[in-house]
Amino acid sequence: MFDKNIYQKRRAGLLDKVDKGLILLLGNVDVAYNYKGNTYAHSRQDSSFLYYFGLQQAGLAALLDVESGAITLFGDDLTLEDVVWMGPHPSLAELASEVGVPQTATFAQLAPQLAKAKSAGRPIHFLPPYRYRNMLLLHQWMDIPVDDLSKKASIALVKAVVSQRSHKGPEEVAEMEKALAVTAEMHLSVMKGAKPGRTEAELAGLAEGIAASHGGYLSYPIILSINGHILHNHDHSNVLKAGDLLLGDFGAETASCYAGDITRTFPVGGTFSAQQKAIYEIVLHAEMSAIEACRPGIRYRDVHLQAARNMAEGLKGLGLMKGDLDDAVAQGAHALFFPHGLGHMIGLDVHDMEDLGEQYVGYTDSVHRSDQFGTAYLRLARELEPGFVFTVEPGIYFIPELIDQWRTEKKFEAFINYEAINPYRHFGGVRVEDNVLITESGYRVLGPPIPKQVEELETL
Ligand code: GLY
Ligand code: MN
């Protein structure tokens, strides 16, 4: 938890940004695993609630009155029976005082306050819910069908929260550096442990254990696979063989819930084949050039397209692409190999604020989402500003199903040499990813360096 002044300043900033009415911020509760009393071991507070209140406890909510400036924290103290099973916990009043909130009330007092505001015709601003318990509460309180809650969420509140959370303060950057220090330890251990005969599951368990041993957890489910071409592959059932290309995309979340998100790809047994090395170096070059292009004012979509162009050029050098590459990228032919976006904001969420709507986080009134396959998946397209932290993660993948479909459709035959792709059919995928902060004059790559040059990886 940060100093209470930080939360007070953030809440004052939020109250300034919303015109009128009540702002309702809901915390999370623990989620049942297989029956009510057996919850997931890792509980997770809502990130916006955490941003404004810093409290990790389950079952909290807050109301901020835009007109009066009053802020109330709602929750319930533990009963004696709770204490028998769970031990003593700070009271609600103690929690509130730690983060500078003067007023508390029981959770049951929240519904009547909302009902009163509703009957007085005051707007009640709430964020799009993603947990079922909060959906049900909002449905009951606001009398809105569950399926319409996201549509009825307050755009004014979403925009206000996004404008604050998008610019990371030095205290947040310091937490992200900590997340990345743990993430580096996870990646180095996996690299050193990736020997023929070991399983993906053993290495995923090793990485998860390191994250947990630092008092936090994972910032998202581990992707660690010899089938790196399956973008969000959470299967860990393979045994590693010498020469397999292993893609590891995983990161730690600190105890304060700031995320790291790093990808490295390397050969099991320590030596790249000529084919692997050629593709790897194209991706690495695209990643490093994209990072170098980052500065305030540049549109991230332009950095994405630059990376796509760079990789298309490398693929043309290998004979896999052909023709005019500006046209190829403009038409989206590169997406056969690079079907995702270059990166996303990161902070309290690995895809930061994705629950609030990517159109408000990564896009603006003048920067709209493309509907072209590949670029449509870009989560961040807008102009970069100092304080933004985001990922840079180009990749090249050989996805047999996609290749077959495009080939059958004779898609982009002017730009893609389908015959030349055959020897790469079982290649898998390469992605390289780092986390970057925009400074006043340029960028800074966050976290300790994690090996990514071919020689470094082979030596390790
Ligand atoms: N780390 C997974 C992703 O960025 O989607
Ligand atoms: Mn990522």
When the pLDDT of each residue in the chain is averaged and rounded to a whole number, the result is 97
Distance CA 430, CA 277 (A): 10
Q: What percentage of the chain reaches a pLDDT higher than 70?
A: 100
Closest CA to 387 of 446, 323, 451: 446
Report pLDDT for 217.
Answer: 97
The pLDDT value recorded for residue 213 is 98
**Strand ranges (E), 1-120:** 22-26, 32-35, 38-39, 61-65, 71-74, 103-105
SS3 138: helix
- The CA distance from 8 to 157, in Å, is 17
**Residue 267's pLDDT band (boundaries 50, 70, 90)?**
very high
* pLDDT (tens digit per residue) in 107-146: 999 999 999 999 999 999 999 999 999 999 999 999 999 9
CATH number for the domain whose boundaries are 4-165: 3.40.350.10
Give pLDDT tens digits for 387-432. 999 999 999 999 999 999 999 999 999 999 999 999 999 999 999 9
User: CATH assignment of 170-459?
Assistant: 3.90.230.10
Q: Return the closest-CA partner of residue 349 out of 434, 259, 438.
A: 259
Pair 397, 263: CB distance under 8 Å: no
81-113: per-residue pLDDT in tens? 999 999 999 999 999 999 999 999 999 999 999
Domain positions in the chain are 4-165, 170-459
User: How many CB atoms are closer than 10 A to CB 35?
Assistant: 7
What's the pLDDT score for residue 173? 98
pLDDT of residue 58: 96
pLDDT for position 88: 95
Give me the pLDDT at residue 257, please: 98
Distance 390 CA to ligand 2 centre (A): 8
Q: What confidence tens digit (pLDDT) does each residue in 164-211 have?
A: 999 999 999 999 999 999 999 999 999 999 999 999 999 999 999 999
Tell which one of 187, 220, 304, 346 to mutate to probe ligand 1, the residue whose CB is within 8 A of the most ligand atoms: 220
In the prediction, which pLDDT does 92 show? Answer: 98
From the alpha carbon of 393, which atom of ligand 1 is closest?
4
List pocket residues of ligand 1, CB cut-off 6 Å. 220, 249, 261, 350
Among residues of the chain, what percentage have pLDDT more than 90?
99
| 182 SS3 class | helix
pLDDT at 41: 87
Ligand 1 nearest-atom number relative to CA 250: 1
Statement: residue 370 has pLDDT above 90: yes
pLDDT for 246 beyond 90: yes
Best residue among 249, 340, 432, 434 to mutate for probing ligand 1's pocket (most ligand atoms within 8 Å of CB) is 249
Question: Which structure tokens are listed for 11?
Answer: 């809440």
Atom of ligand 1 nearest to the CA of 263: 1
pLDDT of 302 > 90? The answer is yes
Query: What is the distance, to the nearest Å, from the Cα of residue 76 to the centroid of all Cα atoms in its chain?
Result: 31
Secondary structure E strands in 273-317: none
pTM confidence score: 0.97
Q: Phi/psi zone of residue 445: left (φ > 0), alpha (ψ -120 to 50 degrees), beta?
A: beta
